[in-house]
Structure 1
Amino acid sequence: MTDPIVTPKWVLARMYEPDLVIVDCRFTLGRPDAGREAYAASHIPGAVFLDLEADLSAPVREHGGRHPLPAPEQLAARLSRAGIGNAHRVVAYDDQGGMYAARLWWLLRWLGHDDVYVMDGEFAAWQAGGFPVTDAQRTAVPAAFVLNVRDELIADVDQVRRALGDPGVLLVDSREASRYAGVQEPIDAKAGHIPGAVNRFWKDVLDDQGRWKAEAALREQLTPVIRALDDGRDAVVYCGSGVSACPNVLALYRLGYPQAKLYAGSWSDWISYENNPIAKGEER
């Protein structure tokens, strides 16, 4: 299995190869224009920009969470307009530890496209390396993107409900510990977590320099999830809106567990149903 995490030097060596599409995924929650403005000011030469909310999510409705999954056909059309087709390799970067880049990585896998990578160390590592940047925007040539949707990579709210109390399923909450425990909730309307979920904060897949941890450290961080998968159980990973769970799914993929599922609507979808139960504190 090819490692989906690549270094800035890897990108530099391949950035002008015609089958490589570099995607800038920078985004700031609460400042919807910040990513596009950062891209307009400076980005990796040849990169195209895809916005989390405008391009990689559907409009918010009553259910589906804060960043609902786009319809596969609509996402494929958007990727095609960005010059991404089935024959292309894709490498994504952001400035938030790989969280938004991992969202694109997961979306492409969901649509059946595996030749996709996340640049380690985000845009800051590219700049720190003294590599070229530009404000010139690439004119994308549309490419053919044929869908091969993998529904087995997704869990919806009904599947998560059935997972409650099911020893064959482990729920994994990717938010920081205080939000998981219900001590604070700065974003969503209700605090707490889905009953039975274990907490594995997504940022703990990164080291102190913001780079992806080595395999041994990742295994230690995700030990309960790995044990569950090794025992033949399912793992369903969620976060606040289906975005910051993606680095945990990516980490499991790197460790040889591509079967981990994403609850795409995540906590913000779960609490949109009045009767869904909520737990607080630590799980035993």
Structure 2
Amino acid sequence: MLVISPEELNARITRKKDKSLLIIDARPFSDYAEGHVPGAVNIDLMQFHWIDTSKEGIRQFNKQTRILLSNIGVSKDKFVVFYDDVSGPSAARGVWLLLYFSHSNVAMLDGGLAAWKAKGFPLEEKTNPFVHSKFEGRPDPKILAGYGTIKSAIKKKKTIVLDARSKEEFDGTAVRAARAGHIPKAINIDWNDNIKDSAFKGTDDLAKMYSQIPKDAEVITYCQGGYRAANSFVVLKMLGYKNVKMYLGSWGEWGNRPDLPVVSK
């Protein structure tokens, strides 16, 4: 289960003895302070981006992410729910992080806080403290791509590189790195098209959007910093794609390395 409805989450919260539930508000603290899902702790995941996917870079990412997840209280017995304003990139990044560390008991709140409030469920404003844990999840390299993975993927016929950014970023008219454009062979499906009225679109609509991608293909998603790409990663997993990776460094790494090829219109 990669998504949970507001109704399902509210039912779990109202079970007072459910000690396994850990709710993480992945928005900025200023938003959290104005009102959040009862019991949620806050960590602005947008502050923890990573653009070094060298061997040493990934080693440091693994080390520092374990510290982060320990500090916010993730442990193997927890069912972890991430949310942001909508079914958005920060919550999806949280889901991807835990899947990468082999913690499958994770979901994101479908529709985010917008859907929660629309259902009339309660909010609280008090800050909830972290309860430190010792998280020791094992990294799963099968769902992480580095720049080396992408270099190899460009040469493979059955690998699809999926750019989750806007059309303007893809074309190179919007510049957010030293170089503009996209990774060679990439196809562009804007992550915003995954969402309607704050929540994920229905499975049939999503399946049509991604129908150009064969189900047996290796798919690597990327964006600017590995957040929008995480959203598309979650959608593809929901649709039953088995071999999906996310390029952690994304354009923040690729577009700033002069040794890597780019295409721009």
Give TM-score, length-normalised by structure 2.
Answer: 0.91
Alignment-mate amino acid for residue 114 of structure 1: S
Tell me what 1:7 maps to. 5
Deviations 1:5-30 (A, max 9, x none): 1111111111242100000001xxxx
Tell me what 2:66 maps to. 76
When structure 1 is superposed on structure 2, of 70-79 and 260-269 the one drifting more is: 70-79
Alignment-mate amino acid for residue 246 of structure 1: A
1:270 paired with 2:254, answer yes
Residue 96 of structure 1, CA deviation: 4.8
Whole-angstrom CA distance in 1 between matches of 2:261 and 2:136: 39
Residue 141 of structure 1, CA deviation: 2.4
1:114 paired with 2:104, answer yes
Percent identical pairs in the alignment equals 30
Whole-angstrom CA distance in 1 between matches of 2:46 and 2:6: 26
Aligned partner of residue 63 in structure 2, secondary structure: helix
Aligned partner of residue 161 in structure 2, secondary structure: strand
Q: Contact 1:72–1:147 (CA<8 Å) still a contact in 2?
A: no
Residue 53 of structure 1, CA deviation: 4.4
Aligned partner of residue 71 in structure 1, secondary structure: helix
Whole-angstrom CA distance in 1 between matches of 2:256 and 2:53: 8
Alignment-mate amino acid for residue 150 of structure 2: V
Q: Contact 1:165–1:196 (CA<8 Å) still a contact in 2?
A: no
Alignment-mate amino acid for residue 266 of structure 1: S
Q: Contact 2:115–2:198 (CA<8 Å) still a contact in 1?
A: no
Q: Which residue, 133, 136, 141 being the options, matches 1:151?
A: 141
Give TM-score, length-normalised by structure 1.
Answer: 0.85
Whole-angstrom CA distance in 2 between matches of 1:188 and 1:135: 38
Tell me what 2:44 maps to. 51
* Gap regions ≥5 residues in structure 2: none
When structure 1 is superposed on structure 2, of 270-279 and 111-120 the one drifting more is: 270-279
Alpha-carbon RMSD across the aligned residues, in angstroms, is: 2.0
Count of residues in Structure 1 that have an aligned counterpart in Structure 2: 259
Residue 256 of structure 1, CA deviation: 1.3
* Gap regions ≥5 residues in structure 1: 27-34
| CA distance 1:277–1:73, shift in 2 (3 Å) | closer
Whole-angstrom CA distance in 2 between matches of 1:53 and 1:64: 18
Residue 173 of structure 1, CA deviation: 0.5
Aligned partner of residue 81 in structure 2, secondary structure: strand
Whole-angstrom CA distance in 1 between matches of 2:259 and 2:49: 26
Tell me what 1:21 maps to. 22
Residue 259 of structure 1, CA deviation: 2.2
Tell me what 1:102 maps to. 92
Q: Contact 2:219–2:244 (CA<8 Å) still a contact in 1?
A: yes
Whole-angstrom CA distance in 2 between matches of 1:129 and 1:101: 19
Tell me what 1:241 maps to. 225
Aligned partner of residue 137 in structure 1, secondary structure: coil
